[in-house]
Amino acid sequence: MSYSYIVSIVGRPNVGKSTLFNRLVGRKKAIVHVQSGVTRDRIYGNSEWNGIPFSIVDTGGYTSEKKKNNVIEKEIRNQIFISVKESDVILFLVDIQMGILDTDKEISQLLRKLKKTILLVVNKVDNGKYMYYDTDFFMLGFSNYYCISAINGSGTGELLDKLIEILKGRKKKIRIKENEDIPRFSVIGRPNVGKSTLINSFLEKNHHIVTNISGTTRDSLDVFYKKCGYKCILVDTPGVRKKSKISESLEFYSTMRTIKTIEYTDICLLMGDTVRGWEAQDTNIFRLVEKNYKGIIILMNKWDLSRNFSLQKNYEIFIRKKIAPFENVPILFISAKNKVGINKIIPTAYQVLKRRKNRLKTNLLNRVMLPIMQKNPPLSGKKKLITIKYCTQLPTYNTPKFIFFSNFPQYIKESYKRFIEKNIRYHFDFRGVPIKIFFRKK
């Protein structure tokens, strides 16, 4: 067991908060871009220094009160306040190359009112000449400050030494288990289908920014969920548009983050919009999940806005036709905003997780499948009699893989592979789980 500490990075936009965050967590988890205001929600990561683990939080850039009428800026400010409230130590980041701006003064006044430990960090001291800039950072009201370069790491060692010295004097009631295997469930889909709203409904608080503006979420955001005996990491992701619809490099990076998130998740919760209907992009995202052999559940959101509830069965049949041949997938009709049907999502995800680890006994698999294949043998244009004599499930983890031994495996067509998969799914429980089928020479 180890103690959990929380350290937040705050500051105005474009001072290098995400760059420092990525350096401390040891990987590029937060998007770094020349455009200011990229980070919006709180992004959590884990770090360790001198044997002391702690959580690090990247926050959005704090803007002046003059922009308080901007919906997104207002939500970003709320996220910063939430992060500061739960933190043990705050790293207040400023930019030596820009000097002290009015927004820096405004932030310092707010932070000094809090009963929190605050370390003033002067960033972008990338070479020696900046050390002698005539900028009096003491005017922000802090007795000391630390000069660093988040981009190349200089000065971060001294900063971390001081941070750990502070944390060692504190104890936290919350403890975390090391190496605990907690499943990751990622909420994916097109922009503005309600992904962040669903996460907030699960947590019963406004953990992520939700607006009517498409593309509000830009990073993949992890949160810990524990309720009713279930534990998991819920991942909110940016919306995935068609390639032709991506108009800026920032949106491209957000989309790539979602794709990367799918690679490292256990179960994907694919959200669709009942009002807009199941679109071609929904099918494209579904195929992406299938290609990565991840468990999947389809969530049709905003079902409460549909006035004809008798159409649910027809809607489900329509979706299954669009995702065929892998149509054996759980489909739940929910309202993320009104919390209708969301209590079924996590239990269903755990069921799919369990099915991913299903292992069939070889004698049972052959007893069921061989008569089917003998009755419907593979067809070949090579005028060769193709037979399958034996099959077994490979001892792999998470992705069920089956191997079929044949006299002429090279002549077996893709359509027959789909036929076999359909029968495996019919006779055995692999609902929501992509499977792999191989043919080999006997």
Domain with 384 in it: what CATH number? 3.30.300.20
Read out DSSP for 290-306? Answer: HHTT-EEEEEEE-GGG-
Residues paired with 391 in a beta bridge: 404
- Same structural domain for residues 121 and 212? no
**pLDDT tens, residue by residue, 210-260:** 444 444 444 456 778 888 888 888 888 776 655 444 444 444 444 565 677
Instruction: pLDDT band for 127, please (50, 70, 90 cuts).
Output: low
* pLDDT confidence bin for 145, thresholds 50/70/90: confident
Residue 250 belongs to some domain of the structure: yes
pTM of the model: 0.64
If asked whether residues 77 and 99 sit together in one domain, one would say yes
Last residue of a domain, one of 151, 176, 201: 176
Integer Cα distance of 209 and 200 in angstroms: 9
pLDDT at 363: 96
Q: Rounded distance, CA 156 to CA 291, Å?
A: 41
Asked if residue 65 has pLDDT above 50, the reply is yes
Tell me the average pLDDT across 118-134: 74
Q: For residues 257 and 277, is the Cβ–Cβ distance under 8 A?
A: no
Q: Are residues 27 and 123 in the same domain?
A: yes
For residue 208, is pLDDT > 60?
no
Instruction: Determine, yes or no, domain membership for 356.
Output: no
* Angle between the N-to-C axes of helices 280-291 and 249-263, in degrees from 0 to 180, rounded to the nearest 10: 50
User: pLDDT tens digits, residue range 378-408?
Assistant: 876 566 688 899 999 998 878 899 999 998 8
Measured between alpha carbons, how far is 24 from 28 in angstroms, rounded to an integer?
A: 10
Asked whether residue 344 falls in the same domain as residue 368, the answer is no
256-298: pLDDT as tens digits: 656 777 878 899 999 998 888 898 888 988 998 898 899 999 9
Would 357 be classed as within a structural domain? no
How many helices (H) and strands (E) the chain has is answered by 11, 17
Tally the domains of the chain: 3
Residue 380: its pLDDT value, please? 66
Same-domain status, 19 and 133: yes
User: What is the predicted pLDDT for the residue at 383?
Assistant: 60
Instruction: Kindly state whether residues 164 and 43 are assigned to the same domain.
Output: yes
Of the pLDDT bands very low, low, confident and very high (cuts 50, 70, 90), residue 143 is: confident
Report the pLDDT averaged over residues 30-51.
59
Instruction: Note the pLDDT of residue 241.
Output: 56
What integer pLDDT is reported at residue 354 of this predicted model? 93
Q: Which helix (H) or strand (E) holds 94?
A: strand 89-95
| Residue 296: predicted pLDDT | 95
**Element (H or E) spanning 248, and its range?**
none
**Which helix or strand (DSSP H or E) is residue 196 part of?**
helix 195-203
- Give the position of tokens 């068609």: 242
CA atoms lying within 13 Å on the CB side of residue 206: 12
Q: Kindly state the average pLDDT of the residues 177-194.
A: 78
Q: Which domain holds residue 109?
A: 2-176
Characterise 218 by phi-psi region: left (phi > 0), alpha (psi -120 to 50), beta (else).
alpha
- CA–CA separation, 42 vs 442, rounded Å? 55
Same domain assignment for residues 426 and 316: no
